[in-house]
Structure 1
Amino acid sequence: MDNNSSFKPSLRLIDATMLVAGSMIGSGIFIVSADITRNVGSAGWLIFVWLITGFMTLTAALSYGELSAMYPKAGGQYVYLKEAYNPLVGFLYGWSFFTVIQTATIAAVGVAFSKFLAYLVPVVSEDNILFKLKTGMGNAGQPQFFTLNAAQLVSIGLIVLLTFINTRGIRSGKLIQTTFTLTKLLSLFGLIVFGFIALDSDIWKANWHNAWNLHSLNKDGSFSTYTTVAALGAIASSMVGSIFSSDSWNNVTFIAGEIKNPKRNIGLSLALGTLIVTVIYIVTNIMYTGVLSLHDIATADKDRVAVTASQQIFGHAGTLIIALLIMVSTFGCNNGLIMAGARVYYSMAKDKLFFNKAATLNKNSVPGYGLWIQCIFACLWSLSGKYGDLLDMISFVVVVFYMLTIIGIFILRKKHPNAERPYKAFGYPVLPVLYVVMGLAFCILLIKFKPNYTWPGLIITLAGIPAYYLIMRKQTSLK
């Protein structure tokens, strides 16, 4: 282990942009529109959910540009929160990031890869149970089991493989990230083009005839109307999926120490990457409404809207095409998540708030220990089978931390008015304030209408408070 090595700036603007876009595009865009459609019941509101999510994502990314230019070093959002508030707030973000946000996302994306690989290699399906162990009895007197399926093993294998590749140096991870992201962007563009070529005018007219009638769409084809307040709750519930699909854009800030000309290129890559993905997401959903009825979108098998749409566009080959596209997408997405995540633990360890070994770089100038401990935790989430539930629950906390970080821009302008700011937040103060207002409305509506999506994430985050003070006490006793 070479403790004296330092990060090597080797990522160009295109590499940083591909990290932003590649980390955002996983499996969500191919799936979550089914649940959104069930919640809002109309084409106009389906697109509106993606538009409002895209606006929030772009606004946050443009605001983060100021912070990334002020603190162009490894750790990104963890560093911004620590500098704007105090070490505890930074730690709570890092704690949530390690315990759930990043590691559970890596697990979820890995299992998504496995599920679509099963279209080509059925033996790796999640239905192929390899091990089953009774663990007790449930509340209803039903036996509970721990099961291990083939998809989970493939997910673990993928996570280990990508972790190993990234321990070999930033160039290895960069090559995979840029290549796979460009491939999936071109593939998604191709899917959109062929989708519009195959557009069914009757389906289009039916979907857009009454585009702004907001109601729930039940699987049997019936509708349920909302009160005004409940309608707002339905929109917030829908945004859980779209926000998850648009998340991880901030991963590029974690890897700032390895980006060339970071004061310029981080902010620019955030703007370009989020804009590209936002446009693709919105146009993809418009394409869905041209080839599938709202009922078909809402009732797609296992919510796999893209598979259903691709079958309409390409016939029987559609399933294979989407399976390959999602495999490319999730492979590249997980590479970006794995590459970037370990840099947060490195920064925390430098502040003595994480395992000490995570503060060292290996002979290839990357945080090898941090990569492997992240790998172990992500693999455990893969085994648990609970990552999907937790990701729904953590969306609330993710938005809370985004709001706190953006508020941090105001705090830092007051604390350090003369600090160098090579780039200033676009639309300041209007757009940052607008993001905070929209984020706050989202969180309040979730608390009211979907409390199960809020309190588990809060509990996980707040559990970091005693952990922080235990670490502080240990540090004091060692002095």
Structure 2
Amino acid sequence: MENKIEDQEMKRELGLLDSTMLVVGSMIGSGIFIVSADITRSVGSAGWVILIWVISGLITLTAALSYGELSAMFPKAGGQYVYLREAYNKFVAFLFGWSTFTVIQTGTIAAVGVAFAKFSAYIFPAVGPDHILFTLESFQFNAAQLLSVVMVILLTWINSRGVKNGKIIQTLFTITKILSLFGLIIFGLTTAFRSEIWQSNWAEPWKMVQWKAGSNTAIAIGGSALFAGIISSMVGSLFSSDAWNNVTFIAGEIRNPKRNIGLSLFLGTLIVTVIYILANVMYTAVLPMVEIAHAPADRVAVAASQYIFGTSGTIIIAVMIMISTFGCNNGLILAGARVYYTMAQDGLFFKQAAHLNKFEVPGWGLWAQCIWTCMLCLSGTYGALLDYVVFVVLIFYILTIGGIFILRKKRPDAERPYKAFLYPVLPALYIVAAAVICIGLLIYKTDTAGYGLLIVLLGIPVYFISQRNLKNAR
């Protein structure tokens, strides 16, 4: 049953540059500076590390190109939620919205907030996780958790004051981090390139090994262990490449959305994929594989910058990551509330979220998202949050791209200003690849992936209870 609230007018403030910067800014957070350490521990050699990033980039580009068809068909606020509703039904759309609120969007914001605090502590030790503010039985509240919470609250407040404020921050911070990353790559490959390191790292690029924790020993692996290593390593690279779809959430505020959303998806994911691959090539030119695998606190970029910039390198890279994570979370916070706004208009979320505030943005949804994100900042570690998010988000990417096939049959005559690139081959390949990764995560990361699946399934009784209450209220 519909409980549609009359649409309020959103301002179309965002052009192609703004929407592309939202894609890039939401994707580039902390992952590229950190997760290569875990990838190297899992797969060991330079060739495999680069290949993991290439595969993740191709998977992301394939999904983005496929989403272009859906974004052109339904250029409305809510994006992926709307695509699922139109292809399937309100129930499937609700499960996505539920998962977005409980883990996908809020978990990603929390993970990036934790990373922001982690690198801020490099410059300001007083805000580090070792600085315990108070203890309540087994729970300890530290300064890093406080900083991540303050960051989320500040960005929520800024975005609650209008989309123009969020747009300015997003574009400024994203351009800054793109230039900073390219600067790091160029300096690394030109001034800090060490031929002996490069030759050693690339002597056996396809030797699959795993590095023992706290040891310089690498163990050769194959068979199921090799597959497990690939699957485990892709958690970090896929998480680092995620959030590209956030631009679809704010379709109601983008000018010429039928053109600009699909184009910004392609341009943004391509820019990020190129940056990520080049950054990892630079890592292998500057650091031995063992140092990448065992970088202190997984701060690979910090370890590389010490060779590139000397003793000041750690400060430079810490500032870069603070800028990167701050801008990333701005985009995530800005976009997420638009999903809850559209859900509420369908009667599937708190009705207060269906209204825009005086600044013509979904203020109630922004603050609801903020509160739950702060709870996750207090409860989760960076690694655990990654595992939860990647498994759940892949499930809905599979369903959404499957929706292209469904809509081609349900609405063959619908206007399609843009059609999925190399349909049906590329969309089908994405579905297969993502399904293999999901199965692998359930097998090899059962605890965290299983909890992610449980969160999705908990949405089923919530949906039917909410629908029953809605029916009784009438």
Tell me the TM-score range normalised by the shorter chain. over 0.9
CA deviation string 1:243-282 (max 9, x = no partner): 1111100000000000000000000000000000000000
Which residue does 2:321 correspond to in 1? Answer: 326
User: What is the CA-CA distance between 1:443 and the residue it aligns to?
Assistant: 1.5
Report the secondary structure of 1:132's partner residue.
Answer: strand
> Partner of 1:403 in structure 2?
398
State how far apart, in whole Å, the 1-side matches of 2:460 and 2:35 are.
33
Superposed CA offset, 1:367-401 (max 9, x none) = 00001111111111112235641331331121111
1:242 aligned onto 2:237: yes
Whether contact under 8 Å (1:5, 1:362) holds in the other structure is: no
| Counterpart position of 2:384 | 389
Q: Would you say the 8 A contact 1:395–1:453 is kept in 2?
A: no
Deviation, 1:153, is 1.0
**Which of 119, 136, 160 is residue 153 of structure 2 equivalent to?**
160
SS, match of residue 130 in structure 1:
strand
In structure 2, what is the Cα distance between the partners aligned to 1:387 and 1:452? 15
| Aligned residue number for residue 343 of structure 2 | 348
Q: Which residue of 2 aligns with 1:138?
A: none
Contact kept, 8 Å, 2:108 with 2:389, in 1: the verdict is no
Question: 1:353 touches 1:471 (CA, 8 Å); kept in 2?
Answer: yes
CA distance in 1, matches of 2:381, 2:277: 29
1:270 paired residue among 265, 272, 287? 265
Q: Does 1:437 align with 2:432?
A: yes
- What do the CA deviations read for 1:95-118 (whole angstroms, capped 9, x no partner)? 111011111211121121122122
Q: 2:455 aligns with which of 444, 453, 460?
A: 460
1:172 is the counterpart of 2:165: yes
> Of 4, 18, 27, which residue of structure 1 is paired with 2:30?
27
Aligned pair partner of 1:254 in 233, 249, 252? 249
Contact between 2:111 and 2:385, CA under 8 Å: does it hold in 1?
no
Segments of 4+ in structure 1 off by > 6 A? Answer: none
Amino acid at match of 1:64: Y
Question: Could you tell me how far apart the structure 2 residues matched to 1:110 and 1:393 are?
Answer: 16
Q: Sort the Cα spacing of 1:410 and 1:130 in 2 relative to 1 into closer, same or farther, 3 A.
A: same
Partners in 2 of 1:303 and 1:123 — Cα distance? Answer: 20
Question: Residue 45 of structure 2 aligns to which amino acid in structure 1?
Answer: S
Please name the residue that 1:424 is paired with. Answer: 419
| Structure 1 equivalent of residue 49 of structure 2 | 46
**CA positional deviation for 1:126:** 1.2
Distance 1:292 1:420 in 2: 52
Aligned to 1:61: 64
Percent of aligned pairs sharing the same letter: 64
C-alpha separation in 2, matches of 1:415 and 1:79: 15
Partner SS for 2:358:
coil
Q: Output one character per residue of 1:4-37: Cα deviation in whole Å (capped at 9) or x when no partner.
A: 7411111010000000000000000000000000
Residue 380 of structure 2 corresponds to residue 379 of structure 1: no
TM-score (norm 2): 0.97
Give the Cα–Cα distance (whole angstroms) in 1 for the partners of residues 156 and 442 of structure 2: 36
1:74 to 69, 77, 98: 77
Change (3 A) 1:288 1:387: closer
Q: How many residues align?
A: 468
Match of 2:3 in 1: none
Match of 1:88 in 2: 91
Partner Cα distance (1:232, 1:124) in 2: 39
- Give the counterpart of 1:284 among 279, 283, 287: 279
Among residues 202, 205, 209, which one is paired with 2:199 in the alignment? Answer: 205
Instruction: Specify the SS of the correspondent of 1:472.
Output: helix
Moved more, 220-229 or 330-339: 220-229
Evaluate the alpha carbon distance shift between residue 4 and residue 242 of structure 1 in structure 2; reply closer, same or farther with a 3 A threshold: closer
| Conservation of the 8 A alpha-carbon contact between 1:399 and 1:439 | yes
CA RMSD in angstroms comes to 1.3
On the 8 A contact 2:129/2:145 being kept in 1, the answer is: yes
* Separation in 1, partners of 2:240, 2:222: 28
Query: Which position in structure 2 is the counterpart of 1:140?
Result: none
Q: Measured at CA, do residues 4 and 461 of structure 1 come closer, stay the same or move farther in structure 2, by a change above 3 Å?
A: closer
User: Do the aligned residues in 1 keep the contact of 2:110 with 2:148 (CA within 8 Å)?
Assistant: yes
* 1:387/1:114 CA distance change after superposition, 3 Å: closer
The answer to whether the 8 Å contact 1:101/1:391 transfers is no
Distance in structure 2 (CA, Å) of the matches to 1:390 and 1:23: 16
- Tell me the CA shift for residue 292 of structure 1: 0.1
Unmatched 5+ stretches in structure 2: 1-5
Gaps of 5+ in 1: 135-144
- 1:99/1:387 CA distance change after superposition, 3 Å: farther
Distance 2:105 2:73 in 1: 24
TM-score, normalised relative to structure 1: 0.96
Measured in 1, the distance between the counterparts of 2:32 and 2:417 equals 34
Distance change in 2, residues 1:208/1:382 (3 Å): same
Query: Matches of 1:441 and 1:112 in 2, distance apart?
Result: 29
